[in-house]
Chains A and B, each alone.
Chain A
Amino acid sequence: MEAAEFLQYVIAGLKSGSIYALVALGFTVVYGSTGIINFAQGEFFMLGGVLTVWFYGLGLPVPIAGLAAVATTAALGILFERFALRKQRSAGPLVLVIITIGGSMVMKSLARHLFGPDELSLPEFTPGPSIDIAGAAVERQALWVWGLTIVAVVVLWWLYRKTRLGRAMRACSISHDAARLMGIDTARIVMVSFGIAAALGALAGFAVTPLTQTSWDAGAAIGVKGFAAAILGGLGNPVASVVGGLVLGLLESLSVAFISSTYKDAISLAVLLIVLFARPQGLFGSARREKV
């Protein structure tokens, strides 16, 4: 294989890897403050894309439509926590996880109902020919995907490390009781976490829809991949989730290059199983760690 061709696969891997990273971050944020896996995370991705197309159809320019979609999805994430999950918190994690599965089904059917069964597409943010990098072609939209991922990661890092809210979220990820003794309203933190996770998923859906199209049923597949990426990173800190996403994207892409495209979608499942069996703390996790 020529260098340029190899580079092409790497670029493709980093492109889908960024999307997995954003979805994985959503899993990590919710897991951090609640200790549960939110199986509706993939639907937030779907809503981001589908709602952007809808807002775009109303005549809004693409960036504004995308912002509106991210904000709407964040609001839905908050409402989902507030009205579907909060009252059941005392019922324990299993019940909550099952509710997120139910929630994902509801979001899916609603999306099919409201936006139709067809593939939906969106123009690229900045249409134009691909850019040549060392012989490999990079779509302009891929640059947007990377740029938005970097912005999201930096903002999230700043939030966790530098703000009062972020400190409260980290406290919450360590012990709810201790956090409450400090005056932290943990119920509110959990709600905010769902909003942030939904926004991250929606941002990924918004950024990638010009490349892949989207539809009401796009959430499940990306949910599995984002989850695999989060597990690969050890459901640990945000940085680990991002690396997990990029590694997974690269593994997929290189498996297409060197093995066969038949197995591309099986990679994330294989990664999931291998990590869970062999290294449940993920690539970066240690036995005792901070969850976010």
Chain B
Amino acid sequence: MGAELRIDGLCAGYGRVDVLRDVTLRVDAGEMVTLIGSNGAGKSTLLKAVAGLLRPAAGTVTLGGVPITGMAPERIVRQRLALVPEGRMLFGPLTVDENLLIGAHSRPARDAGVAADLERVRMLFPMLAERGAQISATLSGGEQQMLAVGRALMSGPEVLLLDEPSLGLAPRVIAAIFEALDTLRSEGLSILLVEQDAHLALRHADRGYVMRNGAIALEGPADKLRDDEQVRHAYLGGRPETRE
């Protein structure tokens, strides 16, 4: 079910401000890849450019071999790429169930996969089944993040992009969300995970990229990056590897 995502020489920015400079990054089918970097490095900008919210100035993005560079977001999601955006962007005044239903908007109304995916999402986050009728703005932060992930899954993606899903959440909730991501990856979904918490991200991902000033500064297998002096110094607070 996973597809390969390739980003080649991508440049993008806001108006006349260039942010991304020649970014090349790849997520193989069924792989979990993380992108780490400090505030303002351009991680969210990259995800927005891939999902179609920003039009790249140069470079290409291909999804399972199909070019999606510069496509509108409403078309990209039909190519089976979904983004869990920074800040979640839930439909706050709508109920949990309505959010999930809108998540499936890109699929035909009679698609049998929608009901199956709804089941799957509710298995992954049982809370969403219990709270179906609740207004989503009244969910706790962790519950909202679960809904944001669930809503993205309702489009039936082959590649899932997540922008800082752990931000501002309690450790227990973060653990639940990352457990869900591990499950999804083991089911074959390709995942590109943007994280501030480099420890956490590198513990779960297969490979990682480090972004600095809009460009990729380092890349490698997750465990190699964890041991890398530079990464440790800059993103892991110089702390020695914590024991699990």
- Name A residues whose Cβ lies closer than 8 Å to a Cβ of B: 164, 167-168, 170-171, 174-175, 177-186, 288-290
Partner of B91, one of A170, A183, A185: A170
Q: Are A183 and B89 in contact (CB under 8 A)?
A: no
A177 CA to B48 CA, complexed, in Å: 10
A281 CA to B81 CA, complexed, in Å: 38
Q: Are A181 and B77 in contact (CB under 8 A)?
A: yes
Q: Quick check: is B105 within 8 A (CB to CB) of the other chain?
A: yes
Q: Quick check: is B182 within 8 A (CB to CB) of the other chain?
A: no
Q: Are B93 and A182 in contact (CB under 8 A)?
A: no
B38-46, B96-104, B167-175, B195-203 - interface stretch: B96-104
Which residues of B are found within 8 Å of A184, using beta-carbon distances? 74, 102, 105
Q: Are B94 and A181 in contact (CB under 8 A)?
A: no
Q: A180: nearest residue on chain B (CB-CB)?
A: B73
Q: Are A177 and B89 in contact (CB under 8 A)?
A: yes
Q: Quick check: is B144 within 8 A (CB to CB) of the other chain?
A: no
Q: Are A171 and B91 in contact (CB under 8 A)?
A: yes
A104 CA to B190 CA, complexed, in Å: 51
A184 CA to B104 CA, complexed, in Å: 10
CB distance from A47 to the nearest CB of B (A): 32
Q: Are A289 and B93 in contact (CB under 8 A)?
A: yes
Which residues of A are found within 8 Å of B91, using beta-carbon distances? 170-171, 174-175, 178
Q: Are B53 and A167 in contact (CB under 8 A)?
A: no
Q: B109: nearest residue on chain A (CB-CB)?
A: A164
Which residues of B are found within 8 Å of A177, using beta-carbon distances? 53, 73, 85, 89
A160 CA to B83 CA, complexed, in Å: 26
A290 CA to B109 CA, complexed, in Å: 24
- Give me 13 A-to-B residue pairs in the complex whose CB atoms sit less than 8 angstroms apart, sorted by A's number: A164-B109, A167-B98, A167-B102, A170-B98, A177-B53, A177-B73, A178-B91, A180-B73, A182-B105, A183-B78, A184-B105, A186-B74, A289-B93
Q: Quick check: is B155 within 8 A (CB to CB) of the other chain?
A: yes
Main secondary structure of the interface of A (DSSP, over half): helix
Which residues of B are found within 8 Å of A164, using beta-carbon distances? 105, 109
Partner of A183, one of B92, B93, B155: B155
A184 CA to B106 CA, complexed, in Å: 7
Q: How many pairs of residues, A versus B, come closer than 8 Å at their CB atoms? A: 70
Partner of A181, one of B51, B92, B109, B137: B51
Q: B51: nearest residue on chain A (CB-CB)?
A: A181
Which residues of A are found within 8 Å of B105, using beta-carbon distances? 164, 167-168, 171, 182-184
Q: A291: nearest residue on chain B (CB-CB)?
A: B93
Which residues of A are found within 8 Å of B89, using beta-carbon distances? 175, 177-178, 181
Which residues of A are found within 8 Å of B217, using beta-carbon distances? none
Q: Are B92 and A174 in contact (CB under 8 A)?
A: yes
Q: Quick check: is B72 within 8 A (CB to CB) of the other chain?
A: yes
- Max count, chain B CB within 10 A of own CB: residue among A170, A180, A288: A180
Query: B154-197 CB contact bits vs A (8 Å, 1 = yes)?
Result: 01000000000000000000000000000000000000000000
Q: Are A182 and B85 in contact (CB under 8 A)?
A: no
Which residues of B are found within 8 Å of A185, using beta-carbon distances? 74
A178 CA to B94 CA, complexed, in Å: 13
Q: Are A182 and B94 in contact (CB under 8 A)?
A: no
- Max count, chain A CB within 10 A of own CB: residue among B93, B106, B109: B93
Partner of A180, one of B74, B92, B98: B74
A186 CA to B82 CA, complexed, in Å: 17
Q: B90: nearest residue on chain A (CB-CB)?
A: A178
Interface residues of B in 44-85 (CB under 8 A from A): 51-53, 72-74, 77-78, 82-83, 85
- Max count, chain B CB within 10 A of own CB: residue among A178, A182, A184, A290: A182
Partner of A167, one of B52, B93, B101: B101
- Max count, chain A CB within 10 A of own CB: residue among B72, B73, B103: B73
Given known contacts A171-B105, A184-B105, A289-B93, what 16 new A-B pairs fall within 8 Å (CB)? A167-B101, A167-B105, A170-B91, A170-B98, A180-B53, A180-B73, A181-B51, A181-B53, A181-B85, A182-B77, A182-B151, A183-B77, A184-B102, A185-B74, A288-B92, A290-B93
Q: Are B103 and A182 in contact (CB under 8 A)?
A: yes
CB distance from A189 to the nearest CB of B (A): 10
Q: Are A181 and B101 in contact (CB under 8 A)?
A: no
Contacts A177-B53, A182-B77, A186-B74 given; indicate if A170 touches B94 (C-beta within 8 A). Answer: yes
Which residues of A are found within 8 Å of B72, using beta-carbon distances? 180
CB distance from A161 to the nearest CB of B (A): 10
Interface residues of B in 86-123 (CB under 8 A from A): 89-94, 98, 101-103, 105-107, 109
CB distance from B219 to the nearest CB of A (A): 27
A93 CA to B129 CA, complexed, in Å: 39
Which residues of B are found within 8 Å of A174, using beta-carbon distances? 91-94
Contacts A164-B109, A168-B105, A171-B102 given; indicate if A181 touches B73 (C-beta within 8 A). Answer: yes
